[in-house]
Amino acid sequence: MEWTPEAEAKLKDIPFFVRPFARKKIETYTQDHSLYLITIEIYEQVKQKFNEKYD
């Protein structure tokens, strides 16, 4: 699983104590959609889905 530098940088905006959980969620979403590169767009899609779920 590869991350673009931009997506990796955005991941660092997430508090360190939930970062491993967020990374796993993003990587699982990417795999489930038969993708191999995590871009800023993928990051934002997962973030939006997560926020909708918990709003």
Query: Which tokens is 31 given?
Result: 């795999």
At residue 53 the predicted structure's pLDDT band, cuts being 50, 70 and 90, is: confident
pLDDT confidence of residue 51: 77
Q: Answer yes or no: is pLDDT of 55 > 80.
A: no
pLDDT confidence of residue 6: 96
pLDDT confidence of residue 50: 81
Determine the Cα–Cα distance for residues 55 and 36; give it in Å rounded to an integer: 29
Which region holds residue 10: left if phi is over 0, alpha if psi is between -120 and 50, else beta?
alpha
What tens digit of pLDDT does each residue of 11-45 get? 999 999 999 999 999 999 999 999 999 999 999 99
pLDDT confidence of residue 1: 87
